[in-house]
Amino acid sequence: MKRVLYACIEQTIHFRLKEDAESEVALRTVRAELEDFKSTLQRKKKKYKIIEEIHQIDGSIIVKIKRQHNNYDCGSYLD
């Protein structure tokens, strides 16, 4: 019988600008979407670590993150 001891996901997420919005509105929307993503992780009490946050020339943001999968222990993955 097998059992998962530790589970952690590494993701690269691209927060892109809406193409049909004005540039300032699109930039604010992208920043707000990223902050909402972070607050959702905190609200759900998910353990996470942002490895890298890259701001692109066009205003979009690429985030590399390690985060807890389901409610499994992460072990030393987030150290």
Residue 15 lies in a domain: yes
Q: Please identify which residue in the block is written with the tokens 């996901």.
A: 9
Residue 56 lies in a domain: yes
pTM of the model: 0.84
Residue 61 lies in a domain: yes
Residue of 7, 25, 26, 24 lying closest to 16 (CA atoms): 26
Q: Please identify which residue in the block is written with the tokens 């604010």.
A: 28
Residue 24 lies in a domain: yes
Residue 79 lies in a domain: no
- Counting the structural domains of the chain, the total is 1
Question: Domain limits at 64?
Answer: 8-68
Residue 3 lies in a domain: no
Per-residue pLDDT of the chain (79 residues; tens, 9 = 90+): 999 889 999 999 999 988 877 888 889 999 999 999 999 999 999 899 999 999 999 899 999 999 998 888 888 888 8
Separation between Cα atoms, residue 31 and residue 16, nearest integer Å: 10
